[in-house]
Amino acid sequence: MRVRAIRLRLLAAVAALLWGAAVVAVLLAYRPGVPIAVLVAACPLAGLVASLVALVWPPLARGPRAFAAVAWLGILELLLLAPSFGGLVAALRQPGVAPLLPSPEDAYGWFLALAAASLFGGLGLSRRVLGVTTVRRVRLALATLIAIALLAVGSGVSAVAVLATALAVSPPGGTAAASPRGPGPAAFPPTCAALPHAAAAADVSLLAVGRVDGHQIGSVALHGTRVGDDERWSATLTGWPVEAGGEAASLAYARVGAAAWLRSGAAAWTTVPLQERIVPYVPVGATPAPVVVQDRATLDSEVIRVALSGPARLAAEDVGFELVDGASTRHCRLLAGGSIALQAFRPLRWLLGQAPLADTPAIADWRGSLDWWVTPDDELAMASVSVEGLVPSGWPTGLQATLQATLTVRRLDTPAPIRAPTP
């Protein structure tokens, strides 16, 4: 019996770790903008309580068949819980995005895992309350009642939080609608085949990161405001290619009308040309494409023009409905190369040792993906790119290099006009 108790406690301990990690993940990373949404943690919290009960009072059973049945119940809980937890972590790790609502398949897995955990803990608790000499049917009946009560509380509170979130994110008078990933907003964002447009005015922020073999070597943080075609932003580079211990590099950029200015560090503002040269990438041996000369677009408009205005958007993957800053959006994804990444997300050039406004071709053979999120008003809410390739010259030694950038757009209803910088 002692060996059996150790085995059952081991199953309960692993389950408690997974349930506890799910509770922490929801409390720390689930931010849909609706206060009651945090109550979705009631389901993993109920599973954690049941697993802790089983850890203290393991559901021992006499006879090899009874013990095998109880052990398989604990194993079934882990088999259901592990993939559900993995899906939760994957959804919460998306940049700036909180999962809207669970799909029926996800909710079904969590419900069965909680049912198995509740019965597993209920068997141990009933054995503790009634004693080992009580008839097995009576102990099983009490364990079932305990499991039903725990399951009803955990799943019931989580369901109320899910429904309340659905009502909160739906437009007035609207109702939630079903989508592959779960219920979505009543006002559906456009499909991934539709071309989004930039908001009339917005606060824009961008975070770019460079990594070698998974280790971050540098980052760029950018914050700014855009009103129409006018914009102003400031950015800071930390890490590569700034020397260790040196002062972080900084840039400021302003565009008003047909003029643009740039300031490096504490230096004075200098005028910069508004036009940019784009050298289209072509495979080796193919006829070179002509250089395109055009006016530089704003940060978010550049993403739309360079990465989303071509025919590749027609083959985009529809990931589903998600929330960005509390607003319902459609998440889309397509393949992207290094040239597209550098043209659409210019601060990435800084991490390559180039000026952000440079036009020098680079990393054309890198490959990755580009994600974007569109609101029901057809406006771009967020865009993210990640490309990988061989480590560039001058970077720390490694096997694989990665460049990532995430652009977030927050619409402004009453923006202040952008003014030209003072020399």
Domain positions in the chain = 2-171, 201-411
Helix (H, G, I), strand (E, B) or coil at 143: helix
Better-scored residue on pLDDT, 322 or 372: 372
- In this prediction, residue 173 has a pLDDT band, given cuts at 50, 70 and 90, of very low
pLDDT tens sequence across 128-141 = 888 877 878 888 89
**pLDDT tens, position by position, 77-126:** 999 888 888 878 877 766 544 554 565 667 778 889 999 999 999 888 88
Distances in Å between the Cα of 338 and the Cα atoms of 211, 222, 297, 366 are: 15, 20, 19, 5
Average pLDDT for 382-409: 92
Q: Phi and psi (nearest 5°) for 190?
A: -65, 160
Residue 338 has pLDDT above 50, yes or no: yes
Query: What 3-state class would DSSP assign to 405?
Result: strand
pLDDT-based confidence at residue 204 (cuts at 50, 70, 90): very high
Check residues 289 and 193 and name the one with the higher pLDDT.
193
Q: What is the structure's pLDDT at 221? A: 94
Mean pLDDT for the stretch of residues 378-385: 93
Nearest-5° Cα angle at 396, 392 to 400? 55
Assigned token pair, 67:
């013990």
Percentage of the chain beyond pLDDT 90 is 32
> Contact 105/83 with Cβ under 8 angstroms?
no
Confidence tier at 402 by pLDDT (50, 70, 90): very high
What does the block give as tokens for 382?
Answer: 């967020």
Bridge partners, 234 (sequence order):
223, 252
Both tokens assigned to 78: 């882990």
Q: What is the pLDDT of residue 244?
A: 47
What was the pLDDT predicted at 180? 38
User: Predicted confidence band at 187 (pLDDT cuts at 50, 70, 90)?
Assistant: low
Considering the entire predicted model, what is its pTM? 0.63
Q: What is the CATH number of domain 201-411?
A: 2.50.20
Q: What is the pLDDT of residues 233-287, one digit of tens each?
A: 999 998 876 654 455 688 999 999 889 999 988 888 999 888 877 655 555 555 6
pLDDT tens-place string over residues 6-15: 888 899 899 9
Do residues 47 and 114 touch, judged by C-beta distance below 8 A? yes
CA distances from 405 to 348, 356, 358 (A): 7, 13, 17
- 207 vs 91, residue with greater confidence: 207
Instruction: Report pLDDT for 97.
Output: 47
Quick one: pLDDT at residue 28? Answer: 82
When the pLDDT of each residue in the chain is averaged and rounded to a whole number, the result is: 82
Phi, psi of 210 (to 5 degrees): -115, 135
Residues ≥6 apart with Cβ < 8 Å to 27: 38, 41
Q: For the beta carbon of residue 367, count every other beta carbon within 10 angstroms.
A: 13
Q: Confidence band (pLDDT; 50, 70, 90) for 61? A: confident
pLDDT above 70: residue 390: yes
Count of CB atoms situated within 10 Å of the CB of 334? 19
Segment 218-236 shows an average pLDDT of 93
Long-range contacts of residues 86-91, Cβ cutoff 8 Å, at least 24 apart:
88/22, 88/25, 88/26, 89/25
Q: One-letter amino acid identity for 7? A: R
Helix, strand, coil percentages (3-state) for the chain, rounded to 5, are: 40, 30, 35
Question: Residue 340: pLDDT above 80?
Answer: yes
